[in-house]
Amino acid sequence: MLSQPLFAAILLGILSISVTAHYIDDSYSDYSEEVISNTGCNPLNNCLTPNCSCFGSVPLKGDTKRLPQFIVLTFDDAVTTLNIKTYRQLLNGRKNSNGCPATASFFVTHEYNDYEFVNELYKKGHDIAVHSITHESNTEMWKKAPLARWQEEMTGMRQILSKFGLIPLSEIQGQRVPFLQSAGDDTFAALKENGFIYDSSMPSRAFMDPPLWPYTLDYGYLQDCQIPPCPKSTYPGLWLFPMVQWKQTSKVGNTVVDFHCSMLDACTPYPTTEKETYAYMIDNFERHYTSNKAPFPVFLHEAWLRDENRFIAFLDAMGKKEDVFVVSIREVLEYMKNPVDVEQYKSQRKCFKDYRLQAGDCKPVTCNFKKRNIMMKSCIPCPKRYPWLGNPEGQIQQ
């Protein structure tokens, strides 16, 4: 059973997601051929790799057995002395069948974040992305935030990660919005105008079976709008990595009920045993693996992993499959720019860690900002002011 502290931590994470999830489409359906065919997007004509991918398209049309199956693991929020232990236990030394290390994407917020640990994760090959500076809890604020606020939050967080974690600025390419609440076009315009490559904030329930592959917004946002507002304009070259939802089937009294969630740790009621958890994960994995092999999203908060080794058992089982690979979002997008069959993918042994720009050597210092009563671990000498919205480098301002 879950301990009370862990249950409380997970509950807070779930509430932070679900309170804004005003679902407007409760369907659970196959792809609509009409939706896909009416986009005007043609992968043989006006939407060519590596910078464009049509909504609903699957790499290497034909036998899906030729495709690699990606498991995409992501974590949200600050990297701290508490959760870094879990990340190390889960990922250090774990390798895919092509010999490359298993990797994940980390959507990082600023407050209480340890930039020495972020530097460590990047050097091990993980994808470091932004989740805002403030992580403001007022979801209405995010829903109505103008483009300027999104730029301050997301480009500011990218600056902070780069400066104090010594990660090349160009290597921080993705975002997830707080509480999955975007402001529609203002959010996506801020991404496009500031050189980001992808977003992973938009849940999809209508495109679960078969699941949706990532696509670019050259022809607009075409999946179901679960948490409005959703973007209406086009954003050529900007990738959307959809949050294909999970399904948890449970009995409520004598009734069997399906619960849906965008993140693994948000489906309730929770499985209570390792066996139940494993079955829950396999059921959702098979929906991807036995259909079109769209990336299997395992998006969660670290607190869910502290109770048992239940997740490690799932990853160990997946590690025995020659065509399954645990990779970051960026690795999936790199694959989609030049898709190959699984045998060629394995033989390339093109490990993501090996061809990225190198991070600087971290010489950690602990910065104590007494006026704010907060500390920060930095890879460089401490700034004069606590880095924050409007002052991401912590400079003294007039």
On whether the pTM is more than 0.75, the answer is: yes
Give the span between the Cα atoms of 113 and 123, in whole angstroms.
17
Give the alpha-carbon dihedral of 303, 277, 296, 293, to 10 degrees. Answer: 170
Cis peptide before 168 (omega within 30 of 0): no
Class of residue 364 by CB neighbours under 10 A (exposed 0-12, middle 13-18, buried 19+): middle
Quote the DSSP letter at residue 355.
S
Q: Which residues contact 52 (CB under 8 A, 6 or more apart)?
A: 41, 43, 46, 216, 218, 236, 237
| The predicted structure's pLDDT at residue 19 | 29
| Coil, helix or strand at residue 175 | strand
Burial of 320 (0-12, 13-18, 19+ CB in 10 A): exposed
pLDDT at 44: 86
The string of pLDDT tens digits covering residues 2-46 is: 443 343 333 333 333 332 332 233 333 344 455 556 778 988 889
Mean pLDDT of the chain: 89
* pLDDT tens per residue, range 245-296: 999 887 777 888 888 999 988 887 778 788 888 999 999 999 999 999 999 9
Question: Could you tell me which residues are beta bridge partners of residue 130?
Answer: 108, 175
How far is it, in rounded angstroms, from Cα 45 to Cα 274?
Answer: 49
DSSP annotation string for 251-297: EETTEEEEEEESSGGG-SSPP-SHHHHHHHHHHHHHHHHTTT---EE
Query: Residue 22 has what pLDDT?
Result: 29
Phi, psi of 192 (to 5 degrees): -60, -45
- Residue pLDDT tens, the chain, 398 long: 444 334 333 333 333 333 233 223 333 334 445 555 677 898 888 999 999 999 999 998 778 899 999 999 999 999 999 999 999 999 999 999 999 999 999 999 999 999 999 999 999 999 999 999 999 999 999 999 999 999 999 999 999 999 999 999 999 999 999 999 999 999 999 999 999 999 999 999 999 999 999 999 999 999 999 999 999 999 999 999 999 999 988 777 788 888 899 998 888 777 878 888 899 999 999 999 999 999 999 999 888 887 656 788 899 999 999 999 999 999 999 999 999 999 999 998 889 888 899 999 999 999 999 988 999 999 999 999 999 999 999 998 76
Q: Which residue is listed with tokens 């359906």? A: 29
123-159: b (≥16 Cβ within 10 Å) or e: bbbbbbbbbbbbbbeebeebbebeeebbbbbbbbbbb
Predicted pLDDT of residue 114: 98
pLDDT of residue 386: 97
Single-letter amino acid, residue 154: M
